[in-house]
Structure formats: structure tokens, C-alpha cells
């Protein structure tokens, strides 16, 4: 049974249908009433958002340990705690804080991270013991399998980076205590990600949490005796500072250098994607784009550099997760600015710490749909990946082929919605598993904001973009392939996948960036 | 056109299925050097099944069988024939270590039997010969005029070893070999295709060598890595001035025919049959990718 055909967890009368054709329960236990997705920008903001809690601070912010900070913060069972993921798979902070909560008997917490990684597998035990009751944020690995099997009492809520900051600022998702891993800090709570043994560069995802949490606790392994300035997060937001022996493993935090794929098929996909961009009207002076840090996107960046040099194009800005390849474009004058919400490698961190043209931005600035204008709205081009994409160009990045929760939304929805040209660049198969399917298991990003699919077989244009189709027709070395042909090819190569067995119970809710519910993920198994 | 003939390891299903997406002029499904001894049977079955059931677009399809000094070559031919019974575009055999006309006669005999067994037209399978020893190079013309032979290619490493040298960066040791094989092939009326450039990430070296062998008169090169294809195609793509001049030669010829004139001049030079042939060849190369589906 595909997700499209799946029943509601309650009677049909209690369901609504989101605009990609997904049945959404009107009420989900542990989540509440739902607002079904009706379109990219149909849910409008009204009124005012959440203000900052007023507080008065003395001089003594430095505390001896995490448990002191938990006590000082007033954290109690049932509250919401947030984390940011700039330390990626090297992060030690999430596990350390949850271990301390468990020791202090704090239970029933809502965990509100910007993302979780394999390193956070110990959370499985904290969930089983009741320390964590709910997660609002991405999950993967063992945690994803556990939750997909129905081991969590309430559904996970998946939001994009922009949707998460919107939910915080609008008051939909208040944070009681924000824990900020700070690679460098001073005693009064000025925080920087650019220096120290655990340097990660931008702290962009933590900005919104710092501004709007009722209490902010910084954890650092590089406490400086002098004032840290400039600071990513200034002292006016930081309530307490805790020094730890280490906040992360540098090997898991950043790559020494990110590298373009050497797989010829992935390079072919990247070359086709770059050719589409070069052929489109976006490819002009003032171009702005986001490509990310995967093997294919890095190769796209590299091919775009070649094209920009060949055609004499100077771009405006590069956005999102920044790599050394973007830094090269900045240094060579092919881009004027980098807007960095996450720094992926050593070159990006060095550039952010030294170049005034390399600017750290918050998730709010990056992608929030309910502010006066996020950076994604100015994007000309974004190149994204997919776990699955279907006939209607709906994209799934949340679940694996076996239906397990795989990872979060990241900026996928935000950039796809904001960019003038949204390209999904993805091999037709992952191993023996087709990426092209009749209907995705879970809709992360609706097809109405996806313009082009690029595979090793060529370029497939969404029928809603007839102008683009005309532009790429007849372009040398850029084969056009129809969606029907691609789906047939995928089926021919891999055969038909057995339908997933799933129950009615909802284990995760996928929100569109405006807070409406785009889709739900159901418990696996009989 | 045989500008680029790409080897696909017979034990790599991913590349066997998708190698054609890189748009070489031809594919060589390799059962010889890229397949370890303990995978020969598996690779033969894999190649047979994939070639039988897949469409490879515009590519010319050949199979490099194992050498006739091994126990595998007859089974390889059987697999090629079985695939060719389903996929009508399979008609090329690449023979490694082609040593003599006698060897080609034996292969011809075996292929004729196979063709009869499968009900194919006699002579359907054509043979591309890899000349990998000094003796083979010395007999190049006799090999090229043997039945079914449609192309010659000099060996690389094996040939260098037989010459008691090694492959150097500028391949000076293969210089006269290339020229000899080219003359033999042209005299016999078959295509002459260069060996692969072994340094797959040295695209500038590839470009330089391709320009050299194109100037010698080679029809193309073998390819080891997809990244080499575009470089070779670029080198083999005639310049704008070559295309322009070739078009004027053809137009002048057509005009002469229309007017009943015997001879015609372009840019003050007489246009004879050889010039016209050269112009048609260049225009055919220029059509290259444009003419593809």
C-alpha cells in the first residue's frame, strides 16, 4: 500500500487531503489539530510573533557543570530543550545534556534540535526510559528505525530550517532552554564558531534559538579569558556558560576538505545540471545559487565555475552550507558575497573568520517564510538531491526505501520554494533501488516547486515549466528524457518494489515551511 | 564513426548498463583483461544477458573476447552469438593478440559455424584486431586483409614489452608502430583505431596524443574512462574554417556536375576526388554528435 492509498488513522470523515493528494488526519494524537497543506504560500501570517523573555543578569554566568546549568535554567520535566547541529556527527553536547537530565530525574522532555546524527544514537535509551517524550527535528539511523517501528509515544515533527525558525518566532514552538555548543566563548557569553579545537564556522542555526529561548546555556571547550569579539551570538542572549573538556570530535565536525565526486555517472549528472543552469535565463551577471556539499552538488559548483569563466559571468552571492568550492568562487571574484548558515569544511571556516564578504546568517534570515524576506527568496538557482521523486515531481528526503525515517528536511523545502530554478540532481537508482517511483512514500517537497530532474539519462523538465523546456530543447549534449521514459527505465532496471507494510498510526508529521501539514509517515510493519 | 570505442569491464554491471550514457561512438564489452580469471564465466553470462536485453542508443557494439591462446574464446563467441540473436546491433568481435592470418582463418571458421548455428547471414560478425606483438605488427597488412577484419589497433603495454621497452610519456617507442599499422590498414581498406591513453586523469596529455594520432590519420581511439570521451570528440571535431572550406568544396563539386564541368577550383586550388573525399569525411565528423538520436 503506498502512502497515497493509505487510510487515515481514524475514520475517513476525520481526514482531509493535502494538495499533493495525501490524506491528513484532522487531529493527530500528540500533535494536535492539523492544517492541511493547500499550496506553497496559501497559509498567511497574522499579528505578532513571540517576544523575548525579559530577564536581569548579574556578572556571574559561568557555572561549574551541566547539572548546575540545568538547575540554574529552571529546567523541569515536560519542558522543551533545543540544540543546533553545527558540530554534526562530532557533537558531544546533545548526549551530555540528556545524560545529565537523566541523572537529575528530569523526564518527558521535548527535544527540539535543528538536526540529529548517528552520533546521537544513545537517545534511543533516553526515549525508552522516558527522559525524552517527543522530538521536533530530523532523525536518522537507529533512532529513525526505532521511531518508524512505533517505539515513541508521540509523533516526530519534521520542519525545514525556515519552518523551524518560523515556528519559534511565531510562538508555535516555544523553547524553554536552548543549549548552544560554542567552539569559543568568553565568561560573559559571547560565542563564536570560528575558533578553537571544535571550530565549526557559522552558528547560523543557533541564532533564532538564542534570541527566543527563555533561557540560553552555552557549552564550550575553549573558554577565553578575554572578550570574544566579533561574536556570532552576543552576550545579551546568553544566560549561562559552562566549560567542558570537549564539546565534540573535530573529525566528525568538519571535513579537512570536501571533494568533488570521481564517479563518472555522478559527474555526468553534475555536468547536465550545470548545462541546464547555463542554458537558463538565470545564468547572467548577478547570479545567485546554492548547491550544497554532496558529491554531485560540489561537481555542479565546479562546472559552473568553468562556465562562469568561459562566459565572463560574475555572480552575486552563494547561499546555505558553504564549502571550499564556494570560497574559491569568492576569492576569484566570481561571487561577491557568501551567506553562510553552515560551514562544511576548513576552507569555509577560515574564510568566514577572515573575509568581510563571507557573512554568517541565521536560519531566520536564510529561510523563514514569515519574515520580511529570507535569503532563499533571492536565489536564482538551487541544486538539491532526493531519496525518491515521483511522476508529479514530488520529492521525498525523509524516508528510506524501506519506509524508515532517514533524515530531516534541512533547507530542501525553503530553497525549492524560493529559488527561480530548482533542480533535483540524482542518479536513477541507488544501488538496486529506484529513485524514480510512481508515488513517493512521503512528500517532503511538493512537485509544484520543482522545475527540473537531472539523472544520468538526461534532463526531465516539469511540464509546469514550458519556457524552460523550449530553452533546453536542441542544446548540444543535453539529452531530454520524459518522466514516462524514466519511470519505465527505473522499473526495467530494478523491477517493481514490493509495497511497504504499514499501520494506520502516525509516527511523524511533515510540515510545510508555513506550518501546514504536507504529509504524515506511518508506523511500519503489521 | 569510430572516434571513441569505450571498454566496459565485463564484470561491472553498473558500467555495462550505463556506459552508453556517456555517448561514445562504440562500446567494447570486455571479457579479457578487465575480468579476473575466476570471474570469466560470470562475466560472460553477465555480458550476454545485458547485451541481449538492453538498448544502447546509437553505439556500435563489440565484444572483446579472450585470446585464442586461452580456453575461453569459443565460449565467448557462443555468448556473443546468443546475445546477437536478440540484439541485432551486436556484430563486432575485438580479438586480442591477433598474431597471424592463420589465426584469423581459424576465427573465421569458428564464426562461420556459429553464424550457421544461429541462422545468421554468413559474414555478419566483423573483427577488430589488436596487434600486440612485433610479429603481429610486421604482418599487419596480411592480418588486415584476412576475412572479416574491419579494423586494426596497436597494443599498448604488451607491445611495449615485446619490443623490450616500456611505455614512456610521449610513447616514442610506439611511433613507428602506429605509422606502420596505419599504412597497412589504409592499404587494406580497414579502419585504424589507436590504443587507449592509459593515464585516465591526464586530459591534457590525452588531448595532445589525440591531436597527434588524428594528424597521422587514425579514425579514433580506444577509451578506458568516460572522462576521455569529450576530449577525443573535441579533437576530432573539425574547426569552423575546416567545415566552411569543406562545404565550399562540396558546393563547387555539385556546381561542376550541374554544369557538366570536369574540374573545378576552390581558393585557387584544383578540387580532385581526394579533396572531395576529405571534405565529405570532415563534414561527416562535424555532423558527429548533432546527428545522434
Domain A264-495: which CATH class?
A: alpha beta
Mean pLDDT of chain A: 93
- CA atoms of B200 and B207, how far apart (whole Å): 11
Q: Which residues of chain B neighbour A264 with C-beta distances below 8 Å?
A: 22, 225-227
> Do A3-253+503-524 and A264-495 share a fold?
yes
- Return the domain boundaries, chain B: 4-236, 240-291
Chain B touched by A456 (CB under 8 Å): yes
Label residue B39 by pLDDT band (50, 70, 90): very high
Residue A257: its pLDDT value, please? Answer: 57
Q: What are B88-132's pLDDT values in tens digits? A: 889 899 999 999 999 999 999 999 999 999 999 999 999 999 999
Q: What are B203-218's pLDDT values in tens digits? A: 999 999 999 999 999 9
Residues of chain A numbered 56-85 and touching chain B (CB < 8 Å): none
Nearest chain B Cα to A432, which residue?
B14
- Return the domain boundaries, chain A: 3-253+503-524, 264-495
Label residue A1 by pLDDT band (50, 70, 90): very low
Residues in B lying within 8 Å of A, measured between beta carbons: 14, 17-18, 21-23, 225-227, 289-290
Q: Chain A: nearest CA to B232, how far in angstroms?
A: 15
Cβ distance of A264 and B226 shorter than 8 Å = yes
Q: Chain A: nearest CA to B226, how far in angstroms?
A: 6
Mutation target for A interface from B14, B15, B18, B291: give the one with most A CBs within 10 A.
B18
Label residue A6 by pLDDT band (50, 70, 90): very low
The answer, yes or no, to whether residue B170 has pLDDT greater than 90, is no
Q: Please give the average per-residue pLDDT across A382-410, as a whole number.
A: 93
Residue A330: its pLDDT value, please? Answer: 97
Residue B289: its pLDDT value, please? Answer: 55
Note the CATH number of domain B4-236.
3.20.20.60
CATH of A3-253+503-524, one of 3.30.420.40, 3.40.1080.10, 2.30.110.10, 3.40.190.10: 3.40.1080.10
Better-scored residue on pLDDT, A494 or A58: A494
ipTM: 0.80
Label residue B254 by pLDDT band (50, 70, 90): confident
Mutation target for A interface from B6, B9, B13, B14: give the one with most A CBs within 10 A.
B14
The answer, yes or no, to whether residue B291 has pLDDT greater than 50, is no
Q: What is the pTM of this model?
A: 0.89
Residue A3: its pLDDT value, please? Answer: 39
Residue B141: its pLDDT value, please? Answer: 97
Residue A10: its pLDDT value, please? Answer: 46
Q: What are A434-446's pLDDT values in tens digits? A: 999 999 999 999 9
Q: What are A240-290's pLDDT values in tens digits? A: 999 999 999 988 987 665 677 888 999 999 999 999 999 999 999 999 999
Mean pLDDT of chain B: 92
The answer, yes or no, to whether residue B250 has pLDDT greater than 60, is yes
Q: Which residues have CB under 8 Å from A122's CB, separation 6+?
A: A95, A98, A99
Residue A60: its pLDDT value, please? Answer: 87
Cβ distance of A477 and B14 shorter than 8 Å = no
How much of chain A exceeds pLDDT 90, in percent? 83
Cβ distance of B290 and A267 shorter than 8 Å = no
Q: What are A15-34's pLDDT values in tens digits? A: 777 778 898 999 999 999 99
- CA atoms of A170 and A164, how far apart (whole Å): 10
Strand-pairing partners, residue A506, are A522
Q: Chain A: nearest CA to B23, how far in angstroms?
A: 9
> What are the φ/ψ torsions at residue A340 (nearest 5 degrees)?
-115, 110
Q: What are A324-381's pLDDT values in tens digits? A: 999 999 999 999 999 999 999 999 999 999 999 999 999 999 999 999 999 999 999 9
Q: Which residues of chain B neighbour A477 with C-beta distances below 8 Å?
A: 23, 289
Amino acid at each position: 500500500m503506498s502512502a497515497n492509498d493509505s487510510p487515515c488513522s481514524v475514520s475517513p470523515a476525520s481526514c482531509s487531503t493535502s494538495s499533493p493528494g495525501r490524506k491528513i488526519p484532522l487531529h493527530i494524537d500528540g500533535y494536535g489539530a492539523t492544517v492541511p497543506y493547500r499550496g506553497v504560500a496559501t497559509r498567511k501570517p497574522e499579528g505578532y510573533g513571540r517576544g523575548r523573555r525579559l530577564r536581569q543578569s548579574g556578572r556571574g554566568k559561568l557555572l561549574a557543570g551541566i547539572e548546575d546549568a540545568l538547575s540554574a535554567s529552571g529546567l523541569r520535566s515536560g519542558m522543551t530543550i533545543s540544540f543546533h547541529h553545527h558540530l554534526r556527527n562530532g557533537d558531544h553536547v546533545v548526549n551530555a545534556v540528556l545524560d545529565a537530565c537523566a541523572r537529575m530525574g528530569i523526564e518527558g522532555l521535548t527535544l527540539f534540535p535543528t538536526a540529529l546524527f548517528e552520533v546521537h544514537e544513545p537517545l534511543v535509551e533516553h526515549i525508552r526510559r522516558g527522559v525524552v517524550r517527543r522530538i521536533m527535528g530530523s532523525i536518522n539511523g537507529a533512532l529513525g528505525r526505532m521511531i518508524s517501528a512505533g517505539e515513541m509515544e508521540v509523533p516526530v515533527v519534521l520542519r525545514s530550517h525556515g519552518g523551524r525558525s518560523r515556528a519559534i518566532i511565531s510562538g508555535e514552538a516555544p523553547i524553554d532552554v536552548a543549549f548552544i555548543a560554542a567552539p569559543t566563548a568568553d565568561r560573559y557569553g559571547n560565542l563564536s564558531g570560528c575558533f578553537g579545537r571544535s571550530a565549526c564556522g557559522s552558528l547560523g542555526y543557533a541564532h533564532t534559538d538564542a534570541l527566543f529561548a527563555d533561557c540560553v546555556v552555552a557549552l564550550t571547550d575553549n573558554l577565553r579569558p578575554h572578550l570574544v569579539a566579533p561574536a556570532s551570538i552576543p552576550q545579551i542572549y546568553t544566560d549561562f556558560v559552562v566549560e567542558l573538556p570537549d564539546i565534540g570530535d573535530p573529525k566528525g565536525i568538519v571535513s579537512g576538505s570536501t571533494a568533488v565526486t570521481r564517479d563518472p555517472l555522478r559527474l555526468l549528472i553534475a555536468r547536465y545540471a550545470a548545462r541546464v543552469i547555463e542554458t537558463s535565463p538565470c545564468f547572467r551577471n548577478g547570479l545567485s545559487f546554492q548547491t550544497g556539499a554532496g558529491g554531485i552538488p560540489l561537481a555542479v559548483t565546479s562546472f559552473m565555475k568553468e562556465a562562469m569563466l568561459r562566459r565572463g559571468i560574475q555572480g552575486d552571492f552563494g547561499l546555505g552550507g558553504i564549502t571550499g568550492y564556494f570560497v574559491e568562487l569568492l576569492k576569484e571574484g566570481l561571487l561577491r558575497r557568501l551567506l553562510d548558515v553552515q560551514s562544511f569544511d576548513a576552507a569555509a571556516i577560515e574564510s568566514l573568520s577572515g573575509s568581510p564578504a563571507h557573512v554568517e546568517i541565521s536560519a531566520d534570515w536564510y529561510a523563514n517564510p514569515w519574515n520580511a524576506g529570507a535569503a532563499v527568496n533571492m536565489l536564482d538557482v538551487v541544486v538539491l538531491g532526493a531519496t525518491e521523486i515521483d511522476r508529479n515531481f514530488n520529492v521525498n528526503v525523509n524516508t528510506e526505501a524501506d519506509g524508515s525515517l532517514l533524515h530531516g528536511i534541512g533547507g530542501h523545502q525553503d530553497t525549492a520554494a524560493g529559488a527561480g530554478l530548482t533542480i533535483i540532481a540524482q542518479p536513477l537508482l541507488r544501488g538496486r533501488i529506484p529513485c524514480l517511483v510512481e508515488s513517493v512514500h512521503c512528500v517532503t517537497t511538493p512537485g509544484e516547486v520543482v522545475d527540473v530532474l537531472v539523472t544520468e539519462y538526461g534532463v526531465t523538465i516539469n511540464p509546469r515549466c514550458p519556457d524552460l523546456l523550449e530553452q533546453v530543447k536542441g542544446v548540444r549534449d543535453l539529452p531530454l528524457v520524459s518522466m514516462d521514459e524514466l519511470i519505465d527505465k527505473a522499473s526495467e532496471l530494478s523491477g517493481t518494489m514490493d509495497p511497504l507494510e504499514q499501520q494506520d498510526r502516525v509516527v511523524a508529521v511533515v510540515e510545510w515551511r508555513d506550518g501546514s501539514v504536507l504529509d504524515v509517515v506511518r508506523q511500519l510493519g503489521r | 564513426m569510430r572516434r571513441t570505442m569505450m571498454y566496459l569491464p565485463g564484470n561491472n554491471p553498473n558500467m555495462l548498463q550505463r556506459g552508453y550514457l556517456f555517448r561514445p561512438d562504440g562500446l567494447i564489452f570486455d571479457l579479457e583483461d578487465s575480468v579476473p580469471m575466476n570471474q570469466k564465466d560470470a562475466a560472460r553470462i553477465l555480458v550476454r544477458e545485458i547485451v541481449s536485453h538492453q538498448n544502447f542508443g546509437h553505439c556500435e557494439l563489440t565484444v572483446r573476447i579472450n585470446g585464442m591462446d586461452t580456453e575461453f574464446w569459443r565460449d565467448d563467441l557462443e555468448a556473443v552469438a546468443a546475445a546477437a540473436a536478440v540484439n541485432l546491433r551486436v556484430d563486432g568481435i575485438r580479438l586480442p593478440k591477433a598474431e597471424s592470418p592463420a589465426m584469423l582463418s581459424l576465427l573465421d571458421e569458428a564464426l562461420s559455424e556459429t553464424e550457421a548455428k544461429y541462422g545468421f547471414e554468413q559474414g555478419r560478425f566483423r573483427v577488430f584486431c589488436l596487434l600486440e606483438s612485433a610479429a603481429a605488427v610486421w604482418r599487419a597488412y596480411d592480418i588486415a586483409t584476412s576475412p572479416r577484419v574491419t579494423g586494426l589497433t596497436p597494443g599498448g603495454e604488451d607491445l611495449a614489452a615485446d619490443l623490450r621497452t616500456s611505455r614512456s610519456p610521449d610513447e616514442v617507442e610506439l611511433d613507428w608502430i602506429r605509422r606502420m599499422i596505419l599504412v597497412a590498414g589504409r592499404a587494406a581498406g580497414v579502419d585504424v583505431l589507436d590504443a587507449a591513453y592509459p593515464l585516465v586523469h591526464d586530459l591534457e596529455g590525452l588531448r595532445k596524443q589525440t591531436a597527434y594520432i588524428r594528424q597521422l590519420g587514425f579514425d579514433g581511439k580506444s577509451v578506458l574512462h568516460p572522462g576521455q570521451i569529450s576530449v577525443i570528440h573535441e579533437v576530432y571535431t573539425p574547426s569552423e574554417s575546416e567545415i566552411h572550406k569543406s562545404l565550399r568544396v562540396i558546393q563547387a563539386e555539385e556546381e561542376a556536375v550541374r554544369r557538366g564541368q570536369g574540374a573545378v577550383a576552390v581558393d585557387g586550388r584544383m578540387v580532385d576526388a581526394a579533396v572531395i573525399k576529405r571534405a565529405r569525411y570532415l563534414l561527416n565528423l562535424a555532423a558527429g554528435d548533432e546527428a545522434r538520436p
